[in-house]
Amino acid sequence: MIFYDCSTAPNPRRARMFIAEKGLNIETRDISMIKGEQHSESFLAVNPRATIPVLITEEGSALTENLAIATYLEAKHPKPPLMGTTPDEKARIMMWTAIAESQGGAPIAEAFRNAHPAMKGRALPGPLNLEQIPALAERGLKRVDAFFTMLETRLNESPYLASEQFSLADLTAFVFTDFARVIKQRIPEGNSATQAWYDAIKARPSASL
Ligand X SMILES: N[C@@H](CCC(=O)N[C@@H](CS)C(=O)NCC(=O)O)C(=O)O
Residues near ligand X (CB under 6 A): 9-11, 33, 38, 50-53, 65-66, 122, 125
> Looking at beta carbons only, is 6 or 151 nearer to ligand X?
6
Smallest distance from ligand X to CB 148, Å: 20
Helix 134-157 to helix 168-179 angle (10° resolution) is: 140
Smallest distance from ligand X to CB 79, Å: 23
> Looking at beta carbons only, is 52 or 151 nearer to ligand X?
52
> Looking at beta carbons only, is 52 or 169 nearer to ligand X?
52
> Looking at beta carbons only, is 53 or 152 nearer to ligand X?
53
Q: Which of 153, 145, 157 is nearest to 186 (CA)?
A: 145
Smallest distance from ligand X to CB 35, Å: 11
> Looking at beta carbons only, is 120 or 192 nearer to ligand X?
120
Q: How far is CA 145 from CA 45, 111, 149, 199, in A?
A: 38, 11, 6, 20
Smallest distance from ligand X to CB 15, Å: 7
Smallest distance from ligand X to CB 10, Å: 5
